[in-house]
Every structure is written in C-alpha cells, then in structure tokens.
Amino acid sequence: MKNRILLIILAITIVLIGCTPKNSVNVDLEEKIKEKDTKISELEDKINELESQLNNVNQPMSNNNLLSMVVDVMDSIKNKDMDRLSSYVHPTKGLRFSPYGHIDTESSQVFTVEEVKNLKEDNKAYLWGHYDGSGEPIKLNFNDYYKRFVYDKDFANPQIIGNDISIGEGNTVDNIKDVYPNSHFVEFYFKGFDPQYAGIDWRSLKLVFEEENGKMYLIAIAHGEWTI
C-alpha cells in the first residue's frame, strides 16, 4: 500500500515538474512574440514614413523644396536663359511679368511656355503697364524690359530674402495674394544703394509660384521699387 501511494505521489510530482516549466515557457514565448510583433509594426510605420518622405524628395517640386527650385529659377533669370526658365513656367497659366508690386491684370504681359523660350529673340515692343508717377505707357521689347524691370540689380545676391513675406513697401498695394490666392512667393530685396535717399531707392524681385497636381510652377515675376 505504501509503495502504491509513493508511486502515485511520484507520478503526480513528475507531472507537475513536467507541466509547470512548459506552461511558463509558453507564457514567456507569447510575451516575446507580442513584443516582436509590436516592434515590427513600429518599424513598418517608420519605413512607410521614410518612403513617403523619399517620394516627396523625388517629386519634381513640392512646397517643402520650393527654395531649392528658386535657386535654379533665379540663376536662369540672371543668365537670361529663357529656355531653362520656360521649363518652370505654368503650363496653362503661363508667366506674367509685372513692373511693380501691384499687379495690373489688365496691362501686365502674360506669356506661354513656348513664348517664354523665345523672348530673348523677340524684338516686338509690348505694353507692360504704366510708369509710376507719369502714367506713361511702358512700351518696350523684352530685352529692354528685362534690363529695367527684371534684372536691374543683382538679385541673385540680395541683402534680404523673404519667403512668403513682403519686404519692399511703396505707396501702392501689393496685391499678389489677391491675384494669386493660392500662390507662394520669394522676394529678393535690396534695402537701398545711396545713403542720401534713406532707403527709398530699394529694389526687389518677387518670384511667384503656384502648385498644380503636386508640382510647383512659376506664374509671375514682379519687380518692386518705391512708388508714389
């Protein structure tokens, strides 16, 4: 009888010894699997985030890399490389040239992508607007207009750059955001050249961009100076 009881106790002990570690191991494995699943999920989220950022970098243009595009646009303007400049022009809205910060939508000239390419060779005199003060018509061919109202100063090396902030102020209202409410602009600004004029001889050039289908396009070049 004693031997039978001992055998039963021994059998129970063996079962308990065999089962307890196994259950403990299973619990540990389940916890580790859950931890790994959580880490994998976090890594997948991170990978998706990085892929999204990479896709934005590979896009031709976005708001995040607008400034890098501006550098090339300004270099094209400085060198009067109209073919390169045309590659940034809005395909349907074209490129508007405004002699002053207040854009006159009636008289300012707008050119298509193809027309921009050939502007340097175009000798036709266009009406670009009216001279501030006198009201006389600004009737010039593109090359003469460029010298007076596009690159009359070395805007590739300005004193101040404003990103979506207007710096130059005259007596006329800057209406870029009224004409192009969804636009972004970068202003290249000189605060003056001759001390005797106390800053009223400031100059600026604004490059105006608008997004379409995830890509930014140049839609306007607005020259700025003191106006009466």
Residue ranges per domain, the chain?
1-58, 63-225
H-helix or E-strand containing 138? strand 137-140
What confidence score (pLDDT) does residue 26 get?
Answer: 59
Beta bridge partners of 161: 188
Half-sphere exposure of 20 (CA within 13 A, CB side): 6
Q: What fold is seen in the domain 63-225?
A: Nuclear Transport Factor 2; Chain: A, (3.10.450)
What is the pTM (predicted TM-score) of this model? 0.72
> Cα separation of 224 and 218, whole Å?
17
Among candidates 147, 145, 150, 127, which has minimal Cα distance to 137? 127
What confidence score (pLDDT) does residue 48 get?
Answer: 53
Among candidates 61, 65, 115, which has minimal Cα distance to 86? 115
What confidence score (pLDDT) does residue 66 get?
Answer: 77
Q: Is the pLDDT of residue 205 over 90?
A: yes
